[in-house]
Amino acid sequence: MLSRRDLLRSGAATAMLAPSIGSASPPITADWQALAAAYRTPDWFRDAKFGIWSHWGPQCVPEFGDWYGRQMYIQGNRFYDHHLRTYGHPSKIGFIDLIGKWRAEAWQPEALMALYRKAGARYFMSMANHHDNLDNFDSAHHAWNSLRVGPKRDIVGTWARIAREAGMRFAVSNHSSHAWHWWQTAYGYDAEGPMKGVRYDAFRLRKADGRGTFWEGLDPQELYTGPAFAPPGGIDSIADMNAWHDARDGQWMEHAPAQNPAFVAKWLLRQQDLVAKYRPDMVYFDDYRLPFGQTGIDAAADYYNRSLDWHGKIDVVLTAKRLSPFQRHAIVEDVERGFMADIQPLPWQTDTCIGSWHYDRPLYERKGYMSAKSVVQRLCDVVSKNGNLMLSIPQRGDGSIDEEEERILGDLAGWFALNGDAIYGTRPWRSFGEGPTKPPVGMQNEGEAKPFTAEDVRFTVGRGVLNAFFLDWPEGDRAIASLGGRALPEAVIERVETMDGRPLTFRREADALRLTIPEHRPGDFVPGIRVYGRGLT
């Protein structure tokens, strides 16, 4: 089993399938071969290029960063220290209590969607649930949902309506398959100190304990999933407790929990309910390949068959991670916080965030967000390689975004207003580009990437025009070797323009196309040019 995130180091098909739509014999059977034979990535996804993601839930309430729910139960961890200092000991004030504090009182989805659309997004994704196992929708099969507790609102349904009213495709992300092992820290205890040996809330809470609380009538074990790897008593050091978790629940597991088949069956019912109610254009699974073996394949086939019923064709996108070459024909590969080295034969997506996945006030205060310039550099690199970019803009616990996020969105809006035609609806050229910077390949490695430079160029093709983006502003004249006479002996370059239509002086030589860069700068970063001629596209 593979460890997924470094921060973890700090601390059979189900028998309960929901009825299939259409007929008792769906046209697409639940196996990889059938999925691959039936699937082609829809053009709407390939044309949209840029999406924005609301990765929002009760873990945003503390405003302290990603995976708060798991890490607040790891003694010695900064999340634990913050929780102890801010709320109290996790044996008394647990994650359930944070759900009660999630009110969404400043959430203005219409205003946010207008910002996202203006900032260039052409599809929008709502988090349907996270590893914390709370459904942010009107869930028929899971009582721990945002209509019963927390904001008492249908988060997914609201986003779906507003995104579609804005003319955007709508996506949902499902992260809940990992809840069964992710929550095991909540069944532990302090190994040291004055509360040594006192079990955290998940270990002791039962349905009867909710009498008189906001969660009366609900079973906490349905939220926390049960003690699959509850540490035994007698662990007497933080290091030993961390080692216990690291060796067991601190792994990124895609298999079904052998001791809890009901969790897997319920996961599938929840997923089918989600797609049936909201008809998403895209489903994002936070999983390597598909969750729970055959059960994940059942979910994929169900989704595709529903699309056939809705649209008469498979007009939806399903993403997952670390796919085999064959599996990439069946679903779309997502590369979380990572890059590809070259043009991919099949469409793909990368997802990243301007900060932490869940809102992180300390990161905001130290001005640690990804800049709009960095987002656009990433976008141009990804699009040139046949990919899309999904960008998370973290929301505060109350549903608002901060003024720095608004500024970044404004900067993106300015760039897309000038350059959007060279992104939307385009396809890769014969080469993705040129330049000295080689991003690290694979997921979860964007922190290792070196800054892009003015020598780095990325190409797209659309509407019969070759577009080229300099990933930083060039100083003085600039040469593009990929457009020289030797590289393109059959091509004729007739004119070159900036994205605002100003002609550029150019000279084509054997080794490069040489451009005179004017003092006038359309836009603040990542300038683009249009190259017109014959034999270019």
pLDDT tier at 523 (50, 70, 90 boundaries)?
confident
**Averaged pLDDT for residues 146-159:** 99
Q: For 457-476, what is the mean pLDDT?
A: 96
pLDDT for 319: 99
Give residue 63's pLDDT: 99
Percent of the chain predicted with pLDDT > 90 = 93
How confident is residue 475, by pLDDT bands cut at 50, 70 and 90?
A: confident
**What's the gap between Cα 112 and its chain centre?**
18
Task: Count the Cβ atoms, other than its own, within 10 Å of residue 93.
Answer: 17
- Checking if the pLDDT of 472 tops 90, the result is yes
To 10 degrees, what angle do helices 403-419 and 372-384 make? Answer: 40
Q: Residue 518 has what pLDDT?
A: 86
pLDDT for the residue 521: 85
pLDDT of residue 476: 85
Least confident of 18-27, 44-53, 87-96: 18-27
Parallel/antiparallel/unpaired status of strands 387-392 and 433-434: unpaired
- Whether the pLDDT of residue 200 is over 80: the answer is yes
Give the Cα separation of 431 and 491 in Å (integer).
15
At 62 the pLDDT is 99
Beta bridge partners of 506: 515
Domain ranges of the chain: 12-422, 450-534
Q: Would you say domain 12-422 falls under CATH 3.40.30.10?
A: no
CB neighbour class for 6 (10 Å; exposed up to 12, middle 13-18, buried from 19): exposed
pLDDT tens, position by position, 387-432: 999 999 999 999 999 999 999 999 999 999 999 999 999 999 999 9
Quick: pLDDT tens for 258-313.
999 999 999 999 999 999 999 999 999 999 999 999 999 999 999 999 999 999 99
Q: Is 192 exposed, middle or buried (0-12, 13-18, 19+ CB in 10 A)?
A: middle
Strands (DSSP E) found in 303-424: 317-321, 332-336, 348-353, 387-392
Q: Identify the band that residue 519 occupies on the pLDDT scale cut at 50, 70 and 90.
A: confident
The domain 450-534 having CATH identifier 2.60.40.1180: the answer here is: yes
The per-residue pLDDT for 26 is 65
Q: For residues 338 and 24, which has the higher predicted lDDT (pLDDT)?
A: 338
Give mean pLDDT, residues 444-467. 97
Q: What is the 3-state secondary structure (H, E, C) of 15-46?
A: CCCCCCCCCCCCCCCCCHHHHHHHCCCCHHHH
Confidence check: pLDDT of 468 > 70: yes
Instruction: Average the pLDDT over 334-346 and give the result.
Output: 98
In this prediction, residue 329 has a pLDDT band, given cuts at 50, 70 and 90, of: very high
* Residues 97, 99, 103, 106, CA torsion sign: positive
Q: What percent of the chain has pLDDT over 70?
A: 95
Rounded to the nearest integer, the mean pLDDT of the chain is 95
The label of the residue with tokens 């939220």 reads 223
